[in-house]
Amino acid sequence: MPDITKFEAAMQRYAALAEAGQGDTREAGQALNEAFDHAPAWFIEGAKRRLAEAGLKVPEPCGLDSAGRPVYAVTDIAAAMGVELASVVGFMDGLGIEPATMATRVQ
């Protein structure tokens, strides 16, 4: 559920880490994940637009979580990005993001 205060706090934590050259750390990944978890619709739509502009598409959700947010399968994300499943899982693991805790509730 969107919460602008939590969204802004998480984005500030992520920005500070990125500015310090730590944008690819677990802590940064967790801050970004938290930001997406509380992001307003305009931010999510903007992220989707940027992905589309980069030639990437957001797969169709495979369901909704208990809060009504879309759930995406990791296999669908890998297919949409044109990469191996292990790459997506490895990327998430490298940032310390468990698939079940992602803002998109990836499963």
Q: What is the pLDDT of residue 15?
A: 94
Q: Classify the C-alpha dihedral 102-32-9-23 as positive or negative.
A: positive
pLDDT of residue 87: 84
pLDDT the model gives residue 70:
76
Q: Which residue has the higher pLDDT, 105 or 24?
A: 24
Q: Output the pLDDT for position 106.
A: 46
- Span 43-87, pLDDT tens digits: 888 888 888 888 877 788 888 877 777 777 888 888 888 888 888
What are residue 59's phi and psi, to 5 degrees?
-65, 165
User: Of residues 6 and 51, which shows the higher confidence score?
Assistant: 6
Residue partners of 87: CB distance under 8 A and separation at least 6: 78
